[in-house]
Amino acid sequence: MTIRSFEEAYQRWLNDPNIDEATKEELRGLEGQTKEIEDRFYRDLEFGTGGLRGVIGAGTNRMNRYTVAKATQGLAQYVRSVAGDNGSVAIAHDSRFMSPEFALEAALVLAGNGVKAYVFEGLRPTPELSFAVRKLGATAGIVITASHNPPEYNGYKVYGSDGGQLVPETAERVMAEIARVASFDDIARMERGEAEAAGLLAWIGKDIDDAYINAVVGASPNPGLVKEAAAEGVKVSVIYTPLHGAGNVPVRAALAAAGFEDVVVVPEQELPDPRFSTVKSPNPEEREAFALAIAMAEKTGAELLLGTDPDCDRVGAVVKDRSGAYVVLNGNQTGAVLTEYLLSSLTARNAMPPNPVVIKTIVTSELGAVVAQHYGAKVLNTLTGFKYIGEKMTQFERTGEASFVFGYEESYGYLAGNYARDKDAVVASLLVAEAAVYYKRQGLTLYDVLEKLYERHGHYLESLQSRTLKGKDGLEKMRALMDDWRANPPADAAGLAVTQRLDYLEDVHGLPLENVLKYILEDGSWFCLRPSGTEPKIKMYFAVRGESAEDARAKLDAVTGAVMSRVDAAV
């Protein structure tokens, strides 16, 4: 939009007969607040490769029923272009403000276009939507969620027929269809009763739930382990928090089905709450999110704490260290431990599939890679985003060239099994808990296992820094920062020479183009700059390998300090 066109867009919404009176009243309350009006209308909320995400409210740059309807109209046009009259879309939502309303709005727009909508009758985890798309043979899927963003956010993620989030080529086709929706007059919509009567709105529940839990439990590398260990008197006590989100029912169901009996849920965080009122952020990457769980554990002595984010696609784990203190494993550590557990178990049972592959992302630690290679598995790297891991899984399923064993991201997303194409905190929760039982039978804790991996492969240490840059000014700062690092690449970081620069806007190993810069240092350490695709943040990833924990920490602090001093000077 031009400099003044945000004001024109604001007036168009005020005068559009398709906009309801409550929304117009919200907009009238902004009169005279030029900066706020500009932020709401200076652009259309961007539909990226993962869909929409933004603050809830009125305006083109906000999440509301109109931006959801416009996106869905474009999706419906795409679905009809590839499936004709036989298209269908599965829809799920989390516990956020307006999630049920946005899910229903999407369904009614699909119905208005003659596309059947299968809608979950209540909140469900994102990975179950991925499973449902595949199980129902749907053309596409939608999840209404903003993951771990603050309470004022919501989002709209789109999935393809394979159950994976849209990869760029398909997303571009959907975006082209959305761009054809010139006004709200172009949106077809059917009322709920009419849609149900016409068979274009179907509600789904227990049958898919049961099939999903069976698939999750079936991904175990050690069927029956937990029950066998319990018969021997080996049990692990678990405290679980869904952080007010969609994980409460499915995580507990999966753990129970596997044989876990001692699972306690943090009561204050058990029920859905769109305010996420007990945490600063419902993000299992942060220790603060586990404060209530750790307080409970310190009283009961629980051996394992698990926490899932609001849409239950990411999980954090807390274990006891050798002093008995509770420590939060980072995503790389959990990924390495799960890689060790899965591959060592399959090897011990002589059940390793042919041509096994572990898939991780370019910003994920190399520890999991060396663990996988230790067991003879091939390791593939993809761009950040589980959709790329899912894309590879579908390729392998189609060609038979490799057997997917495990995929993971440093941002606490993991998947084992072929039933879904997105990260799944339900199966990851089960596998972490199961691993705790497996190693307890050997007299080891999960912390012990991690320490043994360091002893075997070296002390890998990683960190993530981010800077939040909101609004139009923030986008411009991020763009300028990335441009500056491209034009003026560093020769070294903390005295370690940069030996390789990887610019993913250029062709790197045949990967799709993305605005990411990665710098490899002379000792194999690396750092990476990446604007987030889902939050108003720029992220800086750091990874080192040291001869000892102290050596790795010193390297990490030095490299991080050198890079962040330049970043902070720019933002």
Sheet holding 492-493: strands in order across? Answer: 459-468, 537-546, 526-531, 517-521, 496-503, 492-493
Q: Are the C-beta atoms of 310 and 145 separated by less than 8 Å?
A: yes
- Its pTM stands at 0.94
pLDDT digits (tens, 9 = 90+) for 31-47: 999 999 999 999 999 88
269's tokens? 């965080």
Would you call 147 a catalytic residue per the annotation? Answer: yes
3-state SS record for 454-508: HHHHCEEEEEEEEEECCHHHHHHHHHHHHHHHHHCCCCEECCEEEEEEEECCCCC
Q: Are the C-beta atoms of 552 and 544 separated by less than 8 Å?
A: yes
Average pLDDT over residues 477-504: 96
- Kindly state the helix (H) or strand (E) to which residue 194 belongs, with its residue range: helix 192-197
- Kindly state the helix (H) or strand (E) to which residue 147 belongs, with its residue range: none
| pLDDT(3) > 70 | no
pLDDT digits (tens, 9 = 90+) for 269-284: 999 999 999 999 999 9
pLDDT digits (tens, 9 = 90+) for 389-447: 999 999 999 999 999 999 999 999 999 999 999 999 999 999 999 999 999 999 999 99
Query: Maximum Cα–Cα distance for the chain, whole Å?
Result: 73
pLDDT digits (tens, 9 = 90+) for 62-90: 999 999 999 999 999 999 999 999 999 99
Cα-based angle 153, 156, 160 (whole degrees, multiple of 5): 155
**Annotation: CATH topology of 459-570:** TATA-Binding Protein (3.30.310)
**CATH classification for the domain delimited by 212-457, as one of 3.40.120.10, 1.20.1050.10, 2.40.10.10, 3.30.110.30:** 3.40.120.10
**Annotation: CATH topology of 43-204:** Alpha-D-Glucose-1,6-Bisphosphate; Chain A, domain 3 (3.40.120)
Higher pLDDT, 106 or 475: 106
Average pLDDT over residues 506-512: 88
**CATH 3.30.310.50 intervals, the chain:** 459-570
- Give the model's pLDDT for residue 4: 57
559's tokens? 């490299």
In the set 88, 95, 130, 147, the catalytic residue is 147
| pLDDT(49) > 80 | no
Closest to 75 (Cα-Cα) out of 85, 64, 88, 66? 88
With the CA atoms of 68, 74, 76 and 77 taken in that order, what torsion angle do they form, in degrees rounded to the nearest 10? 170
| pLDDT(2) > 60 | no
**CATH 3.40.120.10 intervals, the chain:** 43-204, 212-457
Q: Which residues pair with 492 in a beta bridge?
A: 497
Average pLDDT over residues 495-512: 93
Average pLDDT over residues 143-172: 95
pLDDT digits (tens, 9 = 90+) for 365-387: 999 999 999 999 999 999 999 99
What is the C-alpha separation between 130 and 116, in angstroms, rounded?
A: 17
Which 3 state secondary structure label does DSSP give 415? strand
Average pLDDT over residues 105-123: 98
Confidence of residue 1 (pLDDT cuts 50, 70, 90): very low
| pLDDT(311) > 70 | yes
Cα-based angle 453, 454, 458 (whole degrees, multiple of 5): 125
| pLDDT(473) > 90 | no
514's tokens? 């993305």
Q: Within a 13 Å sphere around the CA of 309, how many CA atoms are in the beta-carbon half?
A: 25
- Give the model's pLDDT for residue 48: 77
Sheet holding 356-361: strands in order across? Answer: 378-382, 356-361, 403-409, 413-415
